Amino acid sequence: MTQLIMQYVLIVLLVVGLGYFVYLLKDKGVNISEDYFGIAYTVLGFLQVNEANTDNVKRILRAVSLAVNYVETNYKDEDNITKEEKALVLAREAVEVLDFQSEIRDENLRQIIRLGVAFLPPTNKNSEELDDIKLKNSVQQ
C-alpha cells in the first residue's frame, strides 16, 4: 500500500515538474514547436534583441548552406579541414552581406557549417560503404 501511494506521489511530482518546465519556457518566450532542435535558439543567442527573429535565422542558415554546398561541389578532393576553412571564409562573407549589427563568432559559424554538411546527401564512397554494411548484415541474418 505504501509503495502504491509513493508511486502516485512521484507521478504527481513528475507532472507538476514538467508543467513548471513548460511554464518557464513560455515565460522566456521560447516556443517549443518553432525551435524543436534548439538550432534557432542557439543562433539567436549571439544576435542582438532587435535582430533576433526566425527570419534572420533562416537567412543565416541559407547563406551558410549555400557556402557549404559550393565548397562541397568545387573542392571534392580536398580534406575536410581545408573544406571547413574555405566554407568558413565564404560563410563569413555571406553573413557580412546580410548586414547584422552583432558579430557572429567563428565557433558559431563552424557549428552551423557542420550542421550544413550533415544535411548534405551522401557521397558515392559513403553510400557504397553503407551498401556493403547492409549486405553483410543481411547475409548474417
Q: Note the pLDDT of residue 33.
A: 58
Q: Note the pLDDT of residue 100.
A: 83
**Do 41 and 30 contact (CB within 8 A), yes or no?**
yes
pTM, two decimals, is: 0.61
Q: Report residue 96 as a C-alpha cell.
A: 557580412
Determine how many CB atoms are found less than 10 A away from the CB of residue 70: 15
pLDDT digits 0-9 by tens, 39-60? 666 666 777 767 777 788 888 8
Closest CA to 115 of 76, 61, 75: 61
Closest CA to 104 of 66, 56, 69, 35: 56
In angstroms, the CA 130 to CA 66 distance is: 26
> Which stretches of the chain score pLDDT less than 70?
29-44, 49, 123-141
Per DSSP (E only), the strands in the chain are none
Q: Report residue 114 as a C-alpha cell.
A: 557542420
Determine how many CB atoms are found less than 10 A away from the CB of residue 119: 9
The crossing angle, in degrees rounded to 10, of helices 80-97 and 106-118 is: 110
Determine how many CB atoms are found less than 10 A away from the CB of residue 65: 20
